[in-house]
Amino acid sequence: VVVRSDFRATAFWQPDLATDAKGRAGATVTLPDSLTSWQGKARVLTKDNQFGVADVSFAARLPLTCRLQAPRFFVVGDTCTVSAVIQNNTDEAVPVSAVLGATGLQIRNSKSEIRNVAAHGETRVDWTVVATGAGEAKLTASAKGGKIGDAMEKSYPVYDHGIEKFLGASTKMRGESATLRINLPAARRAETTELVVQVAPSIAVTMLDALPYLANYPYGCTEQTM
C-alpha cells in the first residue's frame, strides 16, 4: 500500500513550453496524492500577440480510498476522535482491515478494525487519541482489502495548554551587578518557558527591536505609516 502524503494544491506549472512546427507541446505531470478532481488550464501566445485558451478536468481515484479526518491541531491534554472514511469504488463488497498509526499521540483503543464495505459504499472507523506532549504529531491511516488498499499520512502541530505571553522588565546596573525579580507562573512547563536577557547602554536601543516588529505588523495603521 502506497502512503499518500503529498497534498499540494498545484500539481504542475511551467510557463515556458514551446510548441513544435505543428503547434503541439506536451509535458509529463506527476500528480500529488490528493484523490480529487483536477483542472488543467493551458494558455498560449505567439510572438505577434495571438492568444489561445483551453481547459480540461479529470479525476484521480483508487479502487479503495482511505481519508484521514482529524483536527487542524491538538492541545496537550486533548482527548479526541480521529476517523478514517473508507470508500469502496468497486462493484463488489470488500472486507477491509483499517489501521491507525500515531507518532506524538497516544491511541486509546485498538489500532486496527475489520469492516465489510459494500460495493460503491463507505464506512467510518473511529479511534480515540490523547495529546500528551507539545511538538509535532503524525497520523497514518491505512485500509487494505485483498489486493487493493490505500493509506494517508498527515502531520499536525501539538500546542501547549496555555497562551503565549511575554513579560518585559528592566533594571539598572549598580556597580558590577544588577538584580531583577520576575514572577513566573507556578504551573509553567520548563521546556516551553524562555528567558531572554538583553544588555543595552540606554533605553533608546530597545527601539531597534521594536521597529521591525512594528513595520511588519500585518494590519496597517497610523503607527506603521509613521
Give the Cα-Cα-Cα angle 20, 42, 44 (nearest 5 degrees): 55
pLDDT at 74: 96
The pLDDT score that the predictor gives to residue 223 is 67
Neighbours of 8 (CB within 10 A): 10
Residue 114 CA to residue 122 CA, distance in Å, equals 13
pLDDT in tens, the chain (226 residues): 789 999 999 999 998 899 998 888 999 999 999 999 999 999 999 888 899 999 999 999 999 999 999 999 999 999 999 999 999 999 999 999 999 999 999 999 888 889 999 999 999 999 999 999 889 999 999 999 989 999 999 999 999 887 777 777 777 777 888 888 888 777 777 777 777 877 777 777 777 777 887 777 777 677 666 6
pLDDT attached to residue 122 = 94
φ and ψ at residue 92, rounded to 5 degrees: -130, 150
Residue 116: what pLDDT? 93
The secondary structure of residue 206, as a DSSP letter, is G
Question: What pLDDT is stored for residue 99 in this prediction?
Answer: 95
Determine the pLDDT at residue 224.
64
What does the block give as the cell for 156?
499536525
* 74-75 and 148-159 beta bridge pairing: parallel
